[in-house]
Copies of this chain bind each other. A is one copy, B any other.
Amino acid sequence: MLEALRAEVLEANLELVRHGLVLYTFGNASGISREHGLMAIKPSGVPYRKMTPADMVITDMEGRMVEGSLRPSSDLLTHAALYRAFPGIGGVAHTHSEYATAWAQARRPIPCLGTTHADYFRGPVPVTDSMTDTEISQGYEENTGHVIARAFKDIDPIETPAVLVANHAPFTWGMTVSEAAQHAVILEAVAKLAHLAIQIHNEAPPAGQALHEKHFLRKHGSSAYYGQPKIKE
């Protein structure tokens, strides 16, 4: 069932590993088939080198197991909550990548200091509220999804496909799981650039609005002109 999705989810998980975003098994990516109302997610705590598409766990949109012999990622219910909250997305990724996690621990949004950021995120990458003791003790993983959704009350999650969960780490998403993983890689690069920049100039002002918009729209929307016209490879 969902052969292509399983393979794409595995590949996205390996993309996180290849870019050095994952220590041991601390990361996970999932993809969804909106048509079937089913998601495929990495199993929990299984070494990457042994993982096959068949190990991906299939659940419904409430996170109930549908197919698979392994336990799903412990963050499963966060993924499920994000798919329900953000109907336009097709994949979710979660890592403890070094620089993005440092911003999450410092509870500071990543300011847009340059065009690398503007190319992919239309505004600063927001930080969630700290979770309440009740949100933590009852339904922690699902509530992590809710606290993320709350942070996007006034932000379009398609245009800013990343968040920093306070004192935890980043989640990213995209139209597909491979895009979600790519956004995790780019978020880490952007987080490092901003970290290095504020060591040089602690009060570095963000890039101007015109520059931000220009770069975002070079890559997104109907007037985009970066890369080759989309064709089947």
A residues sitting closer than 8 Å to B (CB atoms) are: 23-26, 43-46, 70-71, 74, 96, 98-99, 101-108, 113-116, 130-131, 133, 136-137, 140, 167-169, 182, 185-186, 189, 192-201, 204, 207-208, 210-211, 214, 218, 225-229
Contact = CB atoms under 8 A, between A and B. Distances in A.
Contacts of A210: 131, 133, 136-137
Given A74-B225, A74-B226, A195-B196, A101 B130 contact: no
Copies per complex?
4
A214 B167 contact: no
Contacts of A113: 105-106, 167
Nearest to A224: B74
A226 B44 contact: yes
Given A70-B228, A71-B227, A102-B193, 15 more contacts: A23-B185, A74-B226, A96-B115, A101-B193, A102-B197, A105-B207, A106-B204, A113-B167, A114-B167, A114-B169, A116-B169, A167-B208, A168-B211, A195-B199, A195-B200
Given A45-B228, A140-B214, A211-B136, A193 B114 contact: no
Contacts of A44: 226-228
24 contacts: A44-B227, A46-B228, A71-B225, A74-B218, A96-B116, A98-B196, A99-B196, A101-B114, A102-B199, A105-B194, A105-B204, A105-B207, A106-B113, A107-B204, A108-B201, A114-B167, A114-B168, A133-B210, A136-B208, A137-B214, A167-B207, A167-B211, A195-B199, A199-B199
Contacts of A99: 196
A182 B23 CA distance: 11
A228 to B, nearest CB: 6
Contact of A106 (B106, B108, B182, B201): B201
